[in-house]
Every structure is written in C-alpha cells, then in structure tokens.
Structure 1
Amino acid sequence: MSCPHHPTPEPPRGAEIVRQEGAQLDFSRSMSYGDYLHLDEILGAQHPLSPEHNEMLFIVQHQTSELWMKLMLHELGAAVRHVGSDRLQPAFKMLARVSKIMEQLVHAWDVLATMTPPEYSAIRPYLAQSSGFQSWQYRCIEFTLGNKNAAMLQPHAHRPDLLQVVETAWHAPSLYDEALRLLARRGLPVPDSHTTRDWTQPYAASEAVQAAWLEVYRHPEQHWDLYQLGEELTDLEDAFRLWRFRHLTTVERVIGFKRGTGGTGGVSYLRKMLDVVLFPEIWALRTSL
C-alpha cells in the first residue's frame, strides 16, 4: 500500500509503450545493435593528436568519407561486372546508388567548411604528411571510373597489401571500358582500339566511339537500355564533378593556396582535376544532337 503523501510513481510513459510493443530490452544473451555494427571499434577509432577541439571534426569527416567510399567501391565493382555480362538493370540500380553516395560526400564538405583557417592551422602540424591524396579507396574509385595514372600507384608503395589492391584496379577495365565493349557486342561500330586496349593507359577520346554513342542517342527507342546506360554514366560523372568542385572550394576556403600536407599543390592540383573528363564522348555528342 502506498503512503497517501508519497504515491507510488508510475513508470515512464515511454517505457510502458516499449513494453506494449513487445520490444526486447535485455540483450545480454543475444546480438545487439552495437554488436552487429561493431560500434565499439568504430566509435573508438577517433584519436586526436592535438589538444584542439576541432580536430575531432577533421577526423570524423574523413573517416565517414572513407566508409562511404567503401560502399561506393562495393557498388561500382558489382556494376562493372553486371555491365560486362549484359545485365544492365541491376547495374542501373547500383550506378544510381553511387551517384547518391557522391551527393552525400558533397554535403560532407559543407560540414568541414565550418572549420576556419585558424582552426585548421592549429591542427595542421599534427598531421605530418598524411593527406586524402593517399586514400587508396579514392584511387581505386578513380581507376574504376577510368582516370588511370601509373604515378598514382607510388603513394601506396609503402603498403604492399594496399598497393596490390590499387594495382588490380589499375589493370582492370574501367566502367567505361566495359560500357564500350557492351556497345560493340550489340553491333555498334566501336573500334577494336577501344575494346582490346591496354587498360592501364589513360582513356583517349575517339570520334568513332562518339559516332557509336550518337547512334544510341539518335535512336533511343531501338537502344533503350544503352541510352539509359549513357544517362546513368552522365549522372555519375555529373555527381563526381560536384564532389571534386566542393572539395576544391572547401580546401581554398580553409587553407587558401598553401601546399597540401601530402605534397600536392593543394588548390592548383584540385583545379587540374576538374578538367578530367571520364566519359568524353557522352558529353561531346550533345553538341551534335
């Protein structure tokens, strides 16, 4: 019996709702949310080296970007295999997802841009030569999308295990290479120079390849899935350009024209990357339509 002056407290309304829903509350003998996601390892992986408050932002920004890039490579690799085996419908889903991931990465720069130049300058000495330029996952994305450059293997030479992964992407046909091979299999006039070439070499635009894509775009009803593939590739490069551009503007906002910690020219290097076109004929054909 409760004392009239001290009534027995009722359980919190939220707890009662949980009980009514039949939710499990005791996870001592089963896998929990944190167990499944390995949250102890993930949330324990931030180790600032400076006494500065803002270093946590810098670390989390780059760690989450690497997680998104891991998913991007997972989707891109599967999409390349599907295009190579003429299974375009699942490839379209994966390429659309990659474009959305890039949108997430674009917005991630918005968060880092809240770091002011003095705040970054305070943590920069603690970074030594570490730089996003050394991201092996980003390099694999570039290679998978066709921006092949043998010099970009060197930043990974100190890690033979990672170098092997990057070299595999360097030697493999890119997404665009597989798209052109698909066009050739469908009877479109893609020259042998673009279907059996050395995949480690940078891609060179071809008027013959542009003519093949023009046939697709002028007669979409006859080549609907190839037409859709062309537009998925356009979406993908459009998103990639925005990601690169947002990277450039954030770096210029935070460090100006200082050299990057990895030894690059910083803003000058990133501006050159804006000129790289991954799927040149798909963009050029628009002038001819």
Structure 2
Amino acid sequence: MSDSASSPANPAASPERDATERAHLDFTRRLSYGDYLRVDALLGAHQPLTGAHDEHLFITVHHVSELWLDLVVRELRAAMDLLSAGVTDTPLKMLSRVVRAQEQLTAAWSVLKTMTPADYLQFRGSFGEASGFQSAGYRMVEILLGNRNPTLLRPFTHRPDLYGPLDAALHAPSVYDLTLRLLAARGLAIPAEVLERDPTGPHGEHPEVLAAWLTVYRDTERYWDLYELAEKLLDVEDNFRAWRFNHLTTVERTIGFKAGSGGTSGAGYLRRALSVVLFPELWQVRTSL
C-alpha cells in the first residue's frame, strides 16, 4: 500500500513544489538573472519617439538584429585569427555559429513583415534620416566577408570609435583572402596579384583561383579541410543572400519603391545589392567540375 504523503496526487510532495522550495529566492547579495544580463538597461534602450503601437516592434527587431550582428562579427574575427595562423578545424565551428546566427537574422524579417504600410507610416517620419544603411555592425560583417567599398564608411566619420575599426578592417584581408592564402601555403597555385591585391576593393573572379579550387574539389580526400572550409564559406554566403533577399521583400512590402530614409533608392538599392558575389570561384567551381 502506497503512502499518501508521497503520492503524486499530494501537491505538497510534488516535484515541482520541491524544486521551487530549493530555488534561490533571496538576491539581496547575489547576482540575479536580470542583473547579470542588465535587463533594465537592455529594455531601457527601447525609446519610441511616437505613440504608434508598431514602433516598439520596429525597434525590437532592429535591436535584436544588432545583437546577432555583433555575435557574427565576433565569430568571424575569431575564425579569421585562426585561419591567419594556418588553423582550419576550429574555424569551422565558428563559421557554423555564424550560419546559425544568420538564420536568426533572416527570421527576424518575418516578424517585421507583420507590420503593414499603414502601421509603418504612423511613425516613419519620426526618425528622420536614420537607416539600417548606417548600421556599423552590418557594415563590419560585409567588410569581413569581402564586400568592400570605402564610400560606405562615410556615414561613420562623425564617430571615430566606429569609423576606426571599420577602416582598419577595410585595409585588412577578408575571410576569403585568408582562405586563399591557406591554399597557397598548401602548395596550390594562387597568383601573387591575388595574394597581394589592394584589400580595400572587392575580390574579382580569377581563373587561376578557380583552377586551385578545382584541384581541391577533385581530390577532397587530400584537401578535406580546405574542402570543408570552402563549403562552410558557401553556407555563409548563401545565408547572406537570403538575409538580403528577405530585407528587399520586407522593404517592398512595407514602403514599395519609395526612397529609403537613409537617402538610397530603397528597394532599388537592395535589389542591386543582390548581385554581389563574395566568393565567386566557390560558386563557379560547380559548373567547372
């Protein structure tokens, strides 16, 4: 015969109640969840300029996106530091994390798309010329991935703390530049004009670089780490394209073909950006195999 005191029917002895009683409840001298994450400061950063209901949504999506972008930058930099030292295995984990973060960034557009044009027009005029075009986090991601245009740094000249790191990254190798140096170090024929190119401009497709990648893809057993790295970079660019495409469709759905608040042509600018190819030889190698 079972003891009624230990019966699941007795709420006084339920596992949930027992767990609650063991939980730490006094945080007078302890670090709490909210203190550790500085939730007050985080939520306090939400400062809508109007009483429009959807402005809070707009700010939330962009705040969360900036946090994901910051993580992407940190993971890319860590991977690039290791690649520059000739390490190929650990960067794969970091690039995998970049891919997962990119998925979260892309998913954020689906939340923003719940805002209708009429909703947006209630507060759009309140933030003047502010625009995602001026996101230092996004611009840093672009630069690290190799999409480089010195003109795009001009919106940050009033903020040396933002402009300095962006300019330094613009003059340093991209993740793809470092990858091509790895290929050269492994004896694959990467021309000096590619290895010593001006990093402030984008990488252009080169037949000898394509030939080197063909060697890797035709002998994956010998070059397995380089092959894995190439495929992971392609995952990153694939997701980068998906983010841009969803950005475009969100803008078209919300403001149509109006000019962007930052002064660009809006949807037209975003549509042209879709044509950018970061790692051209990794896409072309599939045709050439």
TM normalised by structure 2 equals 0.94
User: After superposition, where does 1:1-289 map in structure 2 within 5 Å?
Assistant: 16-19=17-20, 22-289=22-289
Q: Which amino acid aligns with 2:210?
A: Q
Instruction: State the aligned residue count.
Output: 279
Q: Which amino acid aligns with 1:286?
A: R
Residue 16 of structure 1 deviates from its aligned partner by 2.6
Does the residue aligned with 2:158 lie in a helix, a strand or coil? coil
Partner of 2:4: none
Q: Which amino acid aligns with 1:205?
A: E
Deviations 1:207-246 (A, max 9, x none): 0000000000011011000010110011111111100100
Residue 286 of structure 1 deviates from its aligned partner by 0.5
Residue 15 of structure 1 deviates from its aligned partner by 7.1
Counterpart-to-counterpart distance in 2, 1:19 and 1:212: 61
Deviations 1:119-173 (A, max 9, x none): 1111111010000000011111000000010111111111122111111111110
Does the residue aligned with 2:277 lie in a helix, a strand or coil? coil
Change (3 A) 1:19 1:271: closer
Change (3 A) 1:23 1:268: same
Residue 18 of structure 1 deviates from its aligned partner by 2.7
Does the residue aligned with 1:54 lie in a helix, a strand or coil? helix
Unaligned runs of 5+ in 2: 1-10
Does the residue aligned with 2:89 lie in a helix, a strand or coil? helix
Counterpart-to-counterpart distance in 2, 1:175 and 1:90: 14
Residue 51 of structure 1 deviates from its aligned partner by 1.2
Root mean square deviation, CA, Å? 1.4
| Sequence identity (%) | 52
Residue 274 of structure 1 deviates from its aligned partner by 0.4
Q: Which amino acid aligns with 2:236?
A: L
Does the residue aligned with 2:122 lie in a helix, a strand or coil? helix
Runs of 4+ with >6 A deviation? 10-15
Residue 195 of structure 1 deviates from its aligned partner by 1.1
Change (3 A) 1:282 1:15: closer
Counterpart-to-counterpart distance in 1, 2:172 and 2:61: 30
Residue 19 of structure 1 deviates from its aligned partner by 4.3
TM normalised by structure 1 equals 0.94
Q: Which amino acid aligns with 1:223?
A: Y
Change (3 A) 1:53 1:168: same
Q: Which amino acid aligns with 1:241?
A: R
Deviations 1:236-267 (A, max 9, x none): 11111100100000010001000000000100
Unaligned runs of 5+ in 1: 1-9
Counterpart-to-counterpart distance in 2, 1:11 and 1:31: 29
Q: Which amino acid aligns with 1:159?
A: R
Does the residue aligned with 2:98 lie in a helix, a strand or coil? helix
Q: Which amino acid aligns with 2:113?
A: A
